[in-house]
Chain A
Amino acid sequence: MTNKTILVVLLALFAFTFSFAQETEKKAYLLPQADVKTLDGKAFNTKLLKNDGKPMIISFWALWCKPCIKELTTIADVYPDWVKETGVKLVAVSIDDARSTARVQPFVDSKDWEYQVLLDPNGDFKRALNVNMVPHTFVLNGKGEIVWQHTSFSEGAELELINIVRKVAKGEPIE
């Protein structure tokens, strides 16, 4: 157990110093690479996610997650305005597993969402981004770096999201 204790203490120290470093240096980090799928089952690596130097929103959701669907539906109502104003692109990554992946496309088509939808059935992208629970939404700047993230959704939170995207689109710092 002594070795384990040392490891635990070291890990705790690193986690603490790391999160402290987070506070003093608001960091942006490059989107991790993971293998996911497009809606028609084709392999897709997340390094291909680009938006011509404009901001991106990546939102993790699932068919069974009602707050996720509320978030994406609420944004869908104002998405054309957001795109016109900031050029933002929203990528909705479904973490539905093999039980429900076949139902994602009919659902997305019926809702008439204009997002780019990806499937992450075994959670590889979710793990690479350290997502614990859904909804979990990231904002990326024009260089493909993550500059902001948020979990949970309550009605009205989309206003904070678009404010962050506006700042990113103009190249302003977020705080």
Chain B
Amino acid sequence: MRRLSIGLLLLFAFSQSPISYAQNLPGSGSIHGNFELSAQLYSDDSVIGAPKVDEKMRMNGYLNLLYTNGNFTAGIRYEAYLNPMLGYDQAYEGNGIPYRFASYKKDDLEVTVGNFYEQFGNGLLLRTYEDKTLGIDNSLDGIRLKFEPYRGITVKGLIGNQRYYWERTKGIVRGADAEINFNDLLTSLANSKTHIILGGSFVSKFQKDDPGSLYKLPENVGAYAGRMDLSRGKFRLSGEYAYKINDPSVLNNWIFKEGQALLIQSSYSQKGMGITLAVKRIDNMNYRTDRSVSGSPLTLSYLPPLTRQQSYSLATIYPYASQPNGEMGFYAEFVYKFKKGSLLGGKYGTDLNVNYSGVYNIDRQKVNATDSLGASGTLGYKSDFFKLGDEIYFKEFNTEITHKFNKRFKGIVSYLHQTYNIDVIEGHPGDPMVYANVAIADLTYMLSDSKALHAELQGLWTKQDKGDWAQLLLEYSIAPSWFVSVMDQYNYGNPDKAKQLHYYLGSFGYNKGANRIAFSWGRQRAGILCVGGVCRAVPASNGFQINITSSF
């Protein structure tokens, strides 16, 4: 590993030498990358339950460098968590180079060695990706091949260990995926209005049996999936089915049941209108490289929640996350544009979005008379494929309207009704189901061509959990470079009077090209924050924070 890093660095050194100083002469390479640093000075704030931070300041930072020369690409990433900021997985403490790769593409073959990210289909079997703001990085370290043996056919093969904080797992992951685009493959379909894509994948992970375990655990756990994507004119239908053999783990209570996942999505859309319908079923599909690990690391499968990803903070107080052990859900969305000049459209048009999602438990019955439901070492349960369980996990009804009133003033109004099983989703046994109503008004007023005032008023009303919230955000921006904002989230309805707190936050930032620096001070709830023209996922904290990003 060290030799590879040093080799890459020597390559960079050569490309930096006076001979190849001009970065874009034909035949010479170029280096680009990005950089981000977040540092926070933590203030004690026992009122909001902020933990004491002994080192007073914590920081997350990384630097990516990519070297490209013709068909050859190499990359390296340095990460430092000294120490990881609150809300991030503290096991990342330290610094080093957890990511480096070299890749070569010639004709129809692409070879990558080192760390890589890959997704097969929708990710039901395999999705390795990174999301720095969430602290997710489950890259595989090994070899990946991509090959196009014939027009319309793509084949991928991979093998590797998986990143586990600053180490790699001993377990080995191997996988293969093939996809056929029939319209490219068969000349008879080249001009057809119907488009057909079929794909299939196989993934297998190897982990040695644990001699201390009560059970004889399977060492090679394989899973396979098939997918199809059909579209014709305005219609689209796609689906993927995945099956995994027995995979007892700490997360499914060591049962020997097989796992299945099904995802079907369909849509109809034309100019000015779109309808989406999706259904999903997951049954015992937690798939990781290490059967004893829980939390965010070492996942192989990605089981996408079908609920709408909300961006306003009070709408994300009760966010849904997929339950890998079992769930069934559906999603329906209708988007429509009332044309300019029409009654509801006004002068500029009005956009409407209505969506509804529901997620339930799966049906679970005892396998036989003697074994209790879900008991370790048994087959666990059996589940009727088409039957919904009797427990609601999540429901959300959401209407959003976007309208521009005149050249200077536009707004978005949104209403949500949420049903949130906080017991199951957040692991609060015994807590009652949360029913919440959320209303949002997002208004922008242009003071001049480049100066804008942006205000967000949000409210959340519920009789459960922490009670009602109100939020006010005011932001002033001078395009394209400056912004300043103040925000207060007030938990005025908390049943405990001592916890009726204000989460106030002031931010200020400057942006030039692809470089940005932002400062903020105050309290932050965990959630998604969109301020200063950028959206990110943010963990809970209090104090003074500086954030620097740069792309070069």
Contact = CB atoms under 8 A, between A and B. Distances in A.
Interface of A: 3-4, 7-8, 10-11, 14-15, 17-19, 21-22, 25, 27-30, 32-33, 35, 40-43, 62-68, 70, 77, 97-100, 102-103, 105-107, 109-112, 121-124, 127-136, 145, 148-157, 159-160
Interface in B21-43: 21-24, 30-36
Nearest to B183: A42
B442 A22 contact: no
Interface string B60-89: 000111101000010010100000000000
Contacts of B284: none
Q: Which secondary structure dominates chain B's binding surface?
A: strand
Interface stretch (B303-311, B360-368, B373-381, B382-390): B303-311
A133 B534 CA distance: 7
Interface residues of B, number: 106
Contact of A106 (B33, B154, B195, B274): B274
A31 to B, nearest CB: 11
Contact of B76 (A11, A27, A33, A102): A11
Interface stretch (B214-222, B252-260, B475-483): B475-483
Interface string B531-546: 0111110000000000
B304 A131 contact: no
Given A105-B269, A109-B274, A156 B479 contact: yes
Given A63-B309, A64-B310, A156-B452, A105 B533 contact: no
Interface stretch (B121-129, B430-438, B458-466): B121-129
15 contacts: A10-B9, A14-B31, A14-B65, A17-B16, A21-B21, A29-B24, A33-B105, A41-B195, A41-B238, A110-B337, A128-B66, A130-B32, A132-B36, A156-B452, A159-B449
Contacts of B184: 42
A135 B78 contact: no
Interface stretch (B290-298, B420-428, B488-496, B509-517): B509-517
Q: Which of A64, A150, A154 has the most CB of B within 10 A?
A: A154
A150 B481 CA distance: 10
A29 B23 CA distance: 8
B96 A4 contact: yes
Contact of A121 (B12, B119, B154): B119
Interface of B: 2, 5-6, 9, 12-13, 16, 21-24, 30-36, 63-66, 68, 73, 76, 78, 95-97, 105, 117-119, 122-123, 127, 129-130, 132, 146, 154, 179, 181, 183-184, 195, 197, 229, 231, 236, 238, 265, 267-276, 278, 302, 304-306, 308-311, 333, 335-337, 348, 351, 412, 442, 444, 446, 448-452, 477-480, 483, 511, 513-514, 516, 528, 530, 532-536, 549-552
